Amino acid sequence: MSVVPTVSPDTNDYYDALHFSNLLWDETTAYDWTKYSDAIYRFTPEAFCYFLPGIMRVSIQDNQVALTVIESLMGSLDRSPVVEYWDDYFLQRWPKLTDVECDAVIEWLLWLNEHPLSPFSEDTILRACETLELVKKHRTE
């Protein structure tokens, strides 16, 4: 699996994504996601889906709720409920998750909501959960 698109500009997020090219999702660390947080913007859709569980695992195991990469994911999910407004970046990634994977992300978001150090408002987390429910519904229509 390629972690970056074949044709890709020579940018910092490109090099951040390349860092993960020889890692398995369960080998990633909080250090990786802190130092190379822009990778999330350059990953191919397949790499995005592959490494997403690694981000969730690191945040739970290391009790990290304020990683920049988590803020990026939250920013991606905290969006309009009008599907027609969703951008290509979003549509090429989140709908690739299965319903079970979407449910796992929702459970993780609810964990973030309950965490005493969570930097996210309950409204933001609930909108993100609603977005994932819409992803599941939109994909089956």
The CB density around residue 20, as the number of other CB atoms within 10 Å, is 24
The CB density around residue 94, as the number of other CB atoms within 10 Å, is 27
Give domain status of residue 16, yes or no.
no
DSSP string computed for 56-106? HHHHHHTT----HHHHHHHHHHS--S-GGG--HHHHTTGGGS-HHHHHHHH
140 CB burial (10 A radius; 0-12, 13-18, 19+): exposed
Q: Whole-prediction pTM value?
A: 0.92
Give domain status of residue 103, yes or no.
yes
Q: How many structural domains compose the chain?
A: 1
Residue 37 one-letter amino acid: S
The pLDDT assigned to 5 comes to 76
Give domain status of residue 124, yes or no.
yes
Give domain status of residue 31, yes or no.
no
Residue 69 one-letter amino acid: V
Average pLDDT (81-102) is: 95
For 15-64, what is each residue's pLDDT tens digit? 899 999 999 999 999 999 999 999 999 999 999 999 999 999 999 999 99
Name the residue with tokens 């519904």. 137
Question: What percentage of the chain has pLDDT greater than the value 90?
Answer: 85
Give domain status of residue 63, yes or no.
yes
Average pLDDT (88-98) is: 95
Domain residues for the domain of 117 are: 45-140
Residue 101 one-letter amino acid: E
Give domain status of residue 9, yes or no.
no
